[in-house]
Amino acid sequence: MSSASGLSFKLHPLVIVNVSDHYTRRKAQLYGSLSTAKPPRVIGCLLGVQSGRNVEIFNSFELKYLETEEGLTLDREFLNTKHEQYKKVFPSYDILGWYSTGIDVQETDMNIHKALMDINESPVYMMLNPTINHAQKDFPITIYESELHVIDGVPSLIFVRSEYMIETVEAERISVDHVAHITPAGGTSAATQLAAHLTGVHSAIKMLNSRLKVLHHLLLTTAKGEVPFEHSLLRQIASLIRRLPAIESPRFQDDFLTEYNDILLMGYLASITKGTSTNNELVEKFNIAYDKQGRRGGRAPFV
């Protein structure tokens, strides 16, 4: 059922990134990245601005909840604290609704929806489907509104779907483009070189794997007598196999660990250098702003 409220919803990419990151971190903490267990459910609040019929969702933050026999119960103290913190940074943003992850709306969702009506009398519900469906080309996101309908003579709140559009500003477009590409600290040219290098390594490994499969199939068919023995080829394969124990020698392990530690040290030093540079820029900007504020206030020169 579609909504008849006439509201126009605009969703910013930061919200999608926040919800996806929240779900990924929660899943990794509970089950690990390779687990096939039932995925966890995450819940949070949506922040934005409503101007007339236009609703623009800019940001979001996580919520804590407790699972009871009656359903999910929100941690109101945590909600109020986070709301106050975001109000200090984004005074124009209001709580527009909430989000969760899942395949479809659950029965307990309306209880959470009603619990937020004391903050917003008509909250918005956004659901993100974390399952991967390669055939689906649209975003796995659905936005719901609540409407009062009379069902069997009893007035009840139900969820109805609403249309939305993705809205971005210049800073978000730059950030999304940065995340979509492999961009190390070296810049765009370094990113292109790294991507080309990784593509070449992947192609080489793929080709090596396919050729090893051909040799393995040849040895199996030769052992079964389906292919006649070719002694020159078998000698080459035996020579290749005899090289494998050299990789497991203590000398190789020592050299490998030395190079590995050197690379880690270089990455660590690069991170320290980058952090120091960022701190220097922050100190310079703070000094400039402090000097301007002092001149604006008519501070007497120090003698």
Tens of pLDDT along 72-115?
A: 788 889 898 998 998 888 889 999 999 999 888 887 888 888 88
Q: Domain containing 46 — which CATH number?
A: 3.40.140.10
Residue range 134-151: mean pLDDT, rounded: 81
Counting residues of the chain whose pLDDT is more than 70, the rounded percentage is 81
Q: Assess if residue 128 is contained within a domain.
A: yes
Average pLDDT, the chain: 80
Q: How high is the pLDDT of residue 193?
A: 64
Residues 25 and 70 in one domain: yes
Q: Assess if residue 130 is contained within a domain.
A: yes
Confidence of residue 126 (pLDDT cuts 50, 70, 90): very high
Q: Assess if residue 268 is contained within a domain.
A: yes
Separate counts of helices (H) and strands (E) for the chain: 8, 10
Q: How high is the pLDDT of residue 44?
A: 92
Domain end among 158, 180, 202? 180
Confidence of residue 192 (pLDDT cuts 50, 70, 90): low
Q: Is the pLDDT of residue 186 over 80?
A: no
Residue range 56-79: mean pLDDT, rounded: 84
Confidence of residue 303 (pLDDT cuts 50, 70, 90): very low
Q: Is the pLDDT of residue 125 over 80?
A: yes
Q: Is the pLDDT of residue 194 over 70?
A: no
Nearest 10 degrees: CA dihedral of 32, 33, 39, 40? 60
Least confident of 147-156, 178-187, 191-200, 225-234: 178-187
Of the two residues 129 and 192, the one the predictor is more confident about is 129
Q: Assess if residue 55 is contained within a domain.
A: yes
Residues 68 and 149 in one domain: yes
Q: How high is the pLDDT of residue 155?
A: 79
In angstroms, the CA 168 to CA 165 distance is: 10
Residues 256 and 228 in one domain: yes
Best CA proximity match to 38, nearest among 21, 23, 53: 23
Q: How high is the pLDDT of residue 150?
A: 75
Residues 175 and 28 in one domain: yes
Q: Assess if residue 57 is contained within a domain.
A: yes
Query: pLDDT, tens digit, for every residue of 3-38?
Result: 667 788 999 888 988 898 899 888 888 766 555 566
Residues 208 and 133 in one domain: no
Instruction: Give me the amino acid identity at 130.
Output: P
Strand partners, 65: 74
Residues 19 and 58 in one domain: yes
Query: pLDDT, tens digit, for every residue of 206-262?
Result: 898 888 888 888 889 988 888 888 888 888 888 877 776 666 677 777 888 888 888
CA separation, residue 160 to residues 9, 108, 263 (Å): 14, 16, 54
Q: How high is the pLDDT of residue 296?
A: 55
Q: How high is the pLDDT of residue 297?
A: 54
Confidence of residue 134 (pLDDT cuts 50, 70, 90): low
Residues 115 and 176 in one domain: yes
Domain end among 147, 163, 180? 180
Domain end among 157, 180, 203? 180
Residues 172 and 194 in one domain: no
Q: Assess if residue 276 is contained within a domain.
A: yes
Residues 261 and 176 in one domain: no
Q: How high is the pLDDT of residue 90?
A: 87
Count how many domains the chain has: 2
Per-residue buried b or exposed e for 257-273, using 16+ beta carbons within 10 Å of the residue's own CB: eeeeeeeeeeeeeeeee
Neighbours of 3 (CB within 10 A): 17
Structural domain that includes position 40:
8-180
Q: How high is the pLDDT of residue 302?
A: 44
Strand partners, 73: 66
Q: Assess if residue 36 is contained within a domain.
A: yes
Residues 155 and 236 in one domain: no
Residues 193 and 175 in one domain: no
Q: Assess if residue 3 is contained within a domain.
A: no
Residues 164 and 272 in one domain: no
